[in-house]
Structure 1
């Protein structure tokens, strides 16, 4: 399990965030429209249209880099907490209307299924970030 969390979890998160960012950027006009249909002020929707894919790409880059892997996992926890929390608010009826769904394959999921999907990736991120990661310098000191 430890080996899976050290290698498989980052790989799965890379696939998730790369797919998410690419699917948003591929249909940027549609994604912008969907952001404006969310429960955000228009200015926030404009900023998030570019910020969300940029942060997802940043997470991918960090997760691909051994030196920055832990930072990528922490960013994954933050992103998945925010995304899961937002869906939780939608499911709890926090807003007077339900915004449109996410893009790509996730568009076909119900809000409940998407919430469970996000909980899985949040748990995966938390488990992976909890593992001790030793850098090369620490390994050399012990030899």
Structure 2
């Protein structure tokens, strides 16, 4: 179990280190990224839309990894994005559209399409393993640990269940007001 948690933490950090810098690079070099997106083999309108959507979505995915409550979404979205990128890069490797520029940003712009494909497949596998571990941990956590996880790990009951919490006798019986 400890090894799984360590692997899980490494995957979490790896995917945050992927999505956050890549999205920030696209925001900081927005005009260059937008130009590359418009040169892709789809309509200019779709290219412009993707130039707005992709960096925002990538940043959102990276930030969703921060909170334990949103990690299932983060791993799911990361996996879906990587499936889309693997499919797109596979088509580029097969030269379905001829020669097209890479719109991935400055972080990976030196890579050729084949290297980019292998990198994306690697990140897809990492995302899927993270998703599997997230589901495993979610399935195997106890109701109490789920409550503690959702309440920022603060145990307000002193380790007792709500039914076991000792209530002073004075609070158990509240005297009624008498009508005169």
Fold shared by both chains (TM-score > 0.5): yes
Listed as ranges, the gaps of 5+ residues in structure 1 are: none
Cα distance change on mapping 1:124 and 1:141 into 2, 3 Å = closer
- Match in the other structure for 2:105: 103
1:122 aligns with 2:124: yes
CA distance in 2, matches of 1:9, 1:79: 16
Coordinate RMSD, CA, aligned: 2.0
1:48 aligns with 2:50: yes
Higher relative contact order (CA 8 A, sep 6+): 1
Q: Is the 8 A contact 2:20 2:63 kept in 1?
A: no
* Alpha-carbon offset, residue 141 of structure 1: 7.0
CA distance in 2, matches of 1:30, 1:93: 23
1:133 aligns with 2:137: yes
- TM-score, normalised by the number of residues in structure 1: 0.91
1:35 aligns with 2:34: no
* Alpha-carbon offset, residue 83 of structure 1: 0.8
- TM-score, normalised by the number of residues in structure 2: 0.73
* Large movers: runs of 4+ above 6 Å: none
Q: Which has the higher helix share?
A: 1
* Alpha-carbon offset, residue 98 of structure 1: 2.0
